[in-house]
Amino acid sequence: MTIEEDRRDVAAVLERYRAGFADLDGAALIDIWDPAYRDPVYIASEEARARRTRQDIADYYNGLARPGDRGVSMTWEDLSVDVLGDVAYAFGRFRFVGERDGPSDRYAVEGRATFVLRRRDSRWWVIHYHESAPGES
């Protein structure tokens, strides 16, 4: 594989993340995490603690949507991806729009996210995620 093919494949994992969040699909979100990696880390900006097991990360994703919640959109800006052998990292700014109990109760969340991925069995998997508030302009 070339570096460009690897970057494209890593970007495809981030697209799966984007689509999973847009649909509030917990199963799709956990599917990008490496099931064989022993020390995953997920740091959400709204939580004080890091989630350190695949099950804890799945619990987070599966708790995103309450009855009546719906994802409207999830977009990336300034997405950058680099590959260093069998490890890759990506950074971007995101904007998620959701609804609680219909269009009259729409909300948006913006932030920055960094992913670390590893290649295992010819597939790229997320092993670390860290998000933070967008900060001042």
Here the CATH number for the domain that contains residue 124 is 3.10.450.50
How many structural domains are present in the chain? 1
Q: What is the pTM of this model?
A: 0.94
Domain hosting 10: range is 3-132
Residues 76-91 pLDDT 10s: 999 999 999 999 999 9
Residue 90 lies in a domain: yes
Residue 21 lies in a domain: yes
Q: Is pLDDT at 103 greater than 90 in this prediction?
A: no
Residue 137: pLDDT band (50, 70, 90) is low
Q: How far apart are CA 27 and CA 122, in angstroms?
A: 21
Residue 137 lies in a domain: no
4-18, 39-53, 123-137 — which is least confidently predicted? 123-137
Q: How far apart are CA 131 and CA 115, in angstroms?
A: 9
